[in-house]
Amino acid sequence: MHKLALSLIFSFLLFPSFVNAKDKAPELKPDEIVKWKKVPQRDRPLEFHYFYPEKFKKTDSRPTVVFFFGGGWSGFNATQFYPQAKYYSSRGLLAICATYRTTSFYKTEPWQCVQDAKSTVRHLKVNAKQLGIDPKKLIVGGGSAGGHIAAATATLKEWNNKEDDLSISSTPSALLLFNPVFDNGPGGYGNNEKDSRVKNYWKTFSPLHNLNGKQPPTLVLMGDRDKHTSAEKTRLYGDTMKKNNNTCEVIIYPGQKHGFFNIQKGGKQYFIKTLVAADNFLVEQGFISGNEKVAEWYKNTIEK
């Protein structure tokens, strides 16, 4: 099967279904969209979709969270994490939904998704003072393949953009991972009989197989009925992190399938549950303070 067609099929399978939506996805808009990097494949630069906290100034030094959408390294939907970003801006964080090159839009390969994720982190660190970012409190999150490239910023040594300043680490201060792809080894995602896109380079591409040394505090949220990523391998990831004296909290939600954390997939209940868990984790790690207010925020912002 043609590689592009295969990629589109997997992006459809991994992306949240809007046809059978339990809840309507909210129509939220970012405060600003900035085109920050030109790419050679298409006349569409990479973008940052900013959600600013109240009274934000570019001279601030704010904790910042960056989200990468899912879609099997092929689908493209910068709006997927708009609800989470909007919530975190209400908690005082600068929140960003970042785009990256995918097969459907840029005809690129999965490893280029990782390149863009690493470039994103480095760019935000280098320009932290001009953007109002505290580079010591830079959190990276993502779902599914977006969770893979988020984890890759901390775990993978290769797949760096040659134009980047490699003296700047691509490792963030913490990771928020929603049913992420961890395992690209034989039989894993992108390396099996039906999908072999990363077969030739999985050893340097699979976060689970490159989980060495110091890693940032990590939260993983996963459903035990996920057919695209493995709860078993997620537990192994968490256990390996802990054996290496790293902080990793893994929460497995019974009965939940892939994409359950999205409003339009798992509904209000699991959107709130996962966001509460993420909020509590960031409080425990010292990135934000005070009590979570997800249910109240949901009522006032999403259900209004």
Give per-residue pLDDT as tens, 211-231.
Answer: 998 999 999 999 999 999 999
| pLDDT on residue 16 | 43
| pLDDT on residue 232 | 96
Q: Is the pLDDT of residue 65 over 70?
A: yes
Tokens of 247: 């902080």
Torsion of CA 38, 179, 247, 209, to 10 degrees: -80
Residue pair 94/50 in contact by the 8 Å Cβ criterion: yes
Residue pair 121/153 in contact by the 8 Å Cβ criterion: yes
Identify any residues that bridge with 177 across adjacent strands, giving them in sequence order: 142, 220
The CATH fold of domain 3-301: Rossmann fold (3.40.50)
Report yes or no on whether pTM surpasses 0.85.
yes
Q: Is the pLDDT of residue 256 over 80?
A: yes
Q: What is the spatial distance between Cα 138 and Cα 124, in angstroms, rounded to a whole number?
A: 9
Q: Where are the domains of the chain?
A: 3-301
Across the chain, mean pLDDT equals 93
Residue 237 CA to chain centroid, in angstroms?
17
- Between 19-23, 146-150, 275-279, the lowest mean confidence (pLDDT) is in 19-23
Q: Are strands 46-51 and 62-68 parallel, antiparallel or unpaired?
A: unpaired
| pLDDT on residue 1 | 44
